[in-house]
Structure 1
Amino acid sequence: MKNYNWATLGCGVIANELAAALKSRGQKLYSVANRTHEKAVAFAEKYGIEKVYNDIDELFKDENVDIIYISTPHNTHIKYLRKALAAGKHVLCEKSITLNSDELDEAISLAEKNHVVLAEAMTIFHMPIYKALLEKVNSGDLGELRLIQMNFGSYKEYNMNNRFFNRNLAGGAMLDIGVYALSFVRMFMSSCPNDVLSQVKYAETGVDEQASILLKNKEEEMATVILSLHAKQPKRGTISFDKGYVEIFEYPRGMEAKITYTADGHCETISAGHTKDALLYEVEDMEKAIEGDKALMHLDYTKDVMKIMTDIRKSWGMKYPEEE
């Protein structure tokens, strides 16, 4: 496999994890760009990165860059996706990949036109535990899927200027944490939910602070999702089949699942992968996708989840400034 040159656009927590993931396999980021140049310089010094761009647009023009990891705020993604994809760069973009389905459709069209891989950095699609669970599900041992229950609640202080509650930074529970729960649901459901109901509680800024979502698909598999940015909940997923149910905690980067069988109540534990290697699994799958196995990145699931989120926000009448 080719040794790909990775660049990071953004210097936050995820960019640090990306640098650490590459280091774990004896590789460094090729270059770094950031909206604040001084932060890019400090980041480069920390990780021994040789190339820092004075202007972000220089990143897209650099012919030596193969893959760009975008980890800037949600509402800036489409602006950078347009430039990166048009320049023929493969892109792994932090979730939520765009604000809405129209933006995602535009990005997908650009990726197809320029023959590059576009993917959302959704850890759930790449953690080994889910690949192991899907093998178990597909074996038929658990029978048919009936219900999925998802929880994700964070406790964020009521600072309406931070990114979680700031409408100008595309804040809100849906795009920040709901995308995880809905990606989990979509991965295990046989088809995309086509019957969706929801409720919302708004923060002072007009973004969704809390939400409850009910979903059903044509196979009549059902799911519930409960989200909050101001009430702590366990990051718990429960998948119920007619022959047993699966429980997994800390599911965005899960590494262990417990199966309880209906017939006799006996339990089985499946372990695979490590939470600390979440970014490494994404990097490895992205490179395999560039080599030809694009299905590894599950852009089809990303598209379905984005449609669900877009439709829900439309039903609420909730828009971001970029959508007005």
Structure 2
Amino acid sequence: MKPLTWAIIGPGAIAHQFAAAQGALGRQIYAVGARNRQKGEAFAQRYGIERVFDDIPQLLADPQVEAVYIATPHASHFSWMKQALEQGKHLLVEKAITVSSDELNEINRLAAEKQLIVAEAMTLFHMPLFRQLKQLLDSGRLGKLKMIQVSFGTLKEDDPTNRFFNPELAGGALLDIGTYALSFARFFLSEQPDQLFTTVSKFSTGVDEQCGILLQNSHNEMATISLAFRAKMPKRGIVACEKGFITVDDFPRAQQAQLSWTDGSTETIRAGETDRALQYEILALEEYAANGTNPLHYLTNDVVALMTAIRQRWGIRFPFES
């Protein structure tokens, strides 16, 4: 499979990890786009990138670019994605891929029209461990799936001006860390939940600071999710079935899980490497582009639909949303 020619939009912290992952694969990124040219040039020099653009539309118009990694804050994703697709580029986009289903539906229509691939850089969707765990559930060895529990809490600085709490930048725990927790739950649920219950505590700026979410689907599979932006909690996912349960700690990039059987016996399941998380995403996007389809995109659609419904229940709407 021939590697694609990649460009990056937004040379922030996660983009450094992406560039390092490309280097570990023996690749050289072609271009980086940054509104701050000095920052873009420093990034390019560090990673041996050939071209620097401070005009992002000019980068997207470059015929050499085949795939674009978008690493800007998620409030800006929709605009860059739309422009990139119109210029014929495949897309790998950081979380949350869009802030609403309306945005994502428009992106999906455009990608289908242009016959291009869009993928969310949701690490757990591409980690080998999760594929192995899903195979285990599908085998029936654990019996029927009953309950999923997910917690994710982080202690963000109590500062209304930073992006985490800024409604102009689509701040709040749901779109920043909740997308991981919901993706974990949806990955293992056999179908999209059709029942949703939730409660929220809002920060002073009006975005969500912490919440509880309860989901249920027609198979009576349930998921409970706890999120917090001002309290540290473990990044832990538990998948409970009739004959045992799986515990995945630090789940977004996990390389191992604990399997606990109802008789008290345990075993450790290992697959993949945490340090290669972004490499798996790069290779997946290139595979999807070669095959002309992204088989996991329905998960992204479902998670964004859940986040959209949850925000509607909370009455949280960002100033830029029409």
State the TM-score bracket (shorter-chain normalisation): over 0.9
Distance 2:211 2:237 in 1: 16
**Residue in 1 that maps onto 2:193:** 193
Q: CA, structure 1 residues 140+3, in 2 after alignment: closer, same or farther (shift >3 Å)?
A: same
Alignment partner of 1:13 is 2:13: yes
Q: How does 1:1-324 map to 2 (within 5 A)?
A: 1-262=1-262, 264-292=263-291, 294-296=293-295, 298-324=296-322
Distance 1:25 1:80 in 2: 26
Distance 1:89 1:44 in 2: 21
What whole-Å deviation, never above 9, does each CA across 1:185-234 have from its counterpart, x for those lacking one? 11100100010000000001000000100000010100100000000000
CA drift at 1:138: 1.2
CA drift at 1:6: 0.8
Distance 1:11 1:269 in 2: 37
CA drift at 1:2: 1.4
Distance 2:253 2:165 in 1: 24
Amino acid at match of 2:267: E
Amino acid at match of 1:55: D
Find the residue that maps to 1:26 and give its secondary structure.
coil
What whole-Å deviation, never above 9, does each CA across 1:262-288 have from its counterpart, x for those lacking one? 1x2111110111111110000011111
Distance 1:182 1:293 in 2: 26
Distance 1:54 1:153 in 2: 35
CA contact (8 A) 2:126 2:277 kept: yes
What whole-Å deviation, never above 9, does each CA across 1:155-213 have from its counterpart, x for those lacking one? 01101111111111111000000000001111100100010000000001000000100
Distance 2:37 2:130 in 1: 38
Amino acid at match of 1:185: A
CA contact (8 A) 2:67 2:90 kept: yes
CA drift at 1:293: 6.2
Find the residue that maps to 1:239 and give its secondary structure.
strand
Gaps of 5+ in 1: none
Amino acid at match of 1:203: F
Amino acid at match of 1:15: A
CA drift at 1:139: 1.1
Amino acid at match of 2:61: K
Distance 1:41 1:295 in 2: 33
Distance 1:91 1:231 in 2: 34
Distance 1:34 1:175 in 2: 23
Find the residue that maps to 1:231 and give its secondary structure.
strand
Distance 2:73 2:153 in 1: 20
Distance 2:299 2:212 in 1: 21
Distance 1:38 1:147 in 2: 50
Amino acid at match of 2:21: A
TM-score (norm: length of structure 1): 0.98
- Percent identity over paired residues: 46
Find the residue that maps to 2:165 and give its secondary structure.
coil
Find the residue that maps to 1:199 and give its secondary structure.
strand
Distance 2:315 2:139 in 1: 42
CA drift at 1:3: 2.4
Gaps of 5+ in 2: none
